[in-house]
Amino acid sequence: MPLAAIEPRRLYRQIADQLRQLMDDGEYPVGGRLPTERELAEKLGVSRPTVREALIALEVEGRLRIRVGSGIYVIDPQPAASASNLAGIEGPFEVLRARAFIESAVAEEAARRARPEDVERLDSVLAETAAQLQGPYLALDRRFHTGIAATLDNAVLVRFVGELFDLRMNPYFELLAKHTEDASTWKAAHEEHCAIRDAVAAGDAAGARAAMHEHLKRSHQRFARDFGETASEGREGGIRQLPSRLTA
């Protein structure tokens, strides 16, 4: 039998696996409440965004119910997506970190190359966005980011930036957005888009890079907002094992 390549499990999946096993073993019974994100992060020796991704994964699987301002509760297993079907999905914060790295460089180069018609294209998207800030505007959000990339006249980069954006079209991002997005976050993102546009229009390469990085960093923070966590920039090592029982 030929050997098959083994994909390392993402850290948040390892945490989800541990928590799921503890629930199955009755350490966290149905109706009970899990420790807070902060407590889990401290006991595991990982960042709170990583714990957040694990909890969102378990909520998508139908094992937890996250009640903002109340806690994280174990529920009877629901007929939802299985862990195996979700294993290949990138976590929300992993996607945002990748976008910050790549799109900051794209915005920097866009500021060097932008023509009047490129700025007009961005202005058109921003005008449409401003008219509908009371509701989600994912399609316009995508058009803005791919519009920045289009300034470079490189179809591969436009497609790549679009595909990176589309990674948020998954159950994890959808549930996280349900918990954290509202009219105030959409307005904040729009204002950040305007700052990026202004730097590109002014030919300010360093300013455009910084504005894009700041926008995606703040997006990271907004997705973390309601759970009280702070975005983490650092790397993480191995995961510690949870004790058989934790105190909430």
- Cα distances (Å, whole numbers) of residue 29 to 18, 48, 60, 77, 108: 14, 23, 18, 11, 51
Portion of the chain with pLDDT greater than 90, in percent: 48
What is d(CA 208, CA 105) in angstroms, rounded to the nearest whole number?
A: 9
pLDDT tens digit sequence for 117-155: 999 999 999 999 998 876 667 899 999 999 999 999 999
- Average of per-residue pLDDT across 19-42: 91
User: Do 92-226 and 11-86 fall under one CATH topology?
Assistant: no
Tokens at residue 220, please? 């990271």
pLDDT confidence of residue 246: 44
Written as one letter, the residue type at 6 is I
Beta strands in the chain (DSSP E): 64-67, 71-74
Which has the higher per-residue pLDDT, 76 or 205? Answer: 205
Is the Cβ–Cβ distance between 95 and 167 less than 8 Å?
A: yes
CATH superfamily of 92-226: GntR ligand-binding domain-like (1.20.120.530)
**Residue 174 binned pLDDT confidence (cut-offs 50, 70, 90):** confident
Tokens at residue 74, please? 């174990």
Tokens at residue 131, please? 């008219």
Written as one letter, the residue type at 179 is H
Q: Compute CA 154 distance to the chain's CA centroid, rounded to the nearest angstrom.
A: 26
Pick the CATH number of 11-86 from 3.50.30.10, 2.30.30.60, 1.10.10.10, 3.40.190.10: 1.10.10.10
pLDDT confidence of residue 110: 98
pLDDT confidence of residue 234: 39
3-class SS at 33?
strand
Please determine, for residue 61, whether its predicted confidence score (pLDDT) is greater than 50. yes
pLDDT confidence of residue 165: 95
What is d(CA 105, CA 96) in angstroms, rounded to the nearest whole number?
A: 14
Give the mean pLDDT of the chain: 83
Please determine, for residue 63, whether its predicted confidence score (pLDDT) is greater than 70. yes
Which has the higher per-residue pLDDT, 114 or 172? Answer: 114
Written as one letter, the residue type at 107 is A
Tell me the sheet residues that pair with 74.
Answer: 64
Which of 95-109, 176-190, 195-209, 224-238 is least confident? 224-238
pLDDT confidence of residue 92: 81
pLDDT confidence of residue 160: 97
- Average of per-residue pLDDT across 63-76: 87
Is the Cβ–Cβ distance between 50 and 93 less than 8 Å?
A: yes
Portion of the chain with pLDDT greater than 70, in percent: 81
Is the Cβ–Cβ distance between 30 and 75 less than 8 Å?
A: yes
Cβ neighbours for 6, distance < 8 A, ≥ 6 positions apart:
none
What is d(CA 247, CA 33) in angstroms, rounded to the nearest whole number?
A: 10
Ranges of each domain in the chain: 11-86, 92-226
Cβ neighbours for 115, distance < 8 A, ≥ 6 positions apart:
151
Is the Cβ–Cβ distance between 48 and 227 less than 8 Å?
A: yes
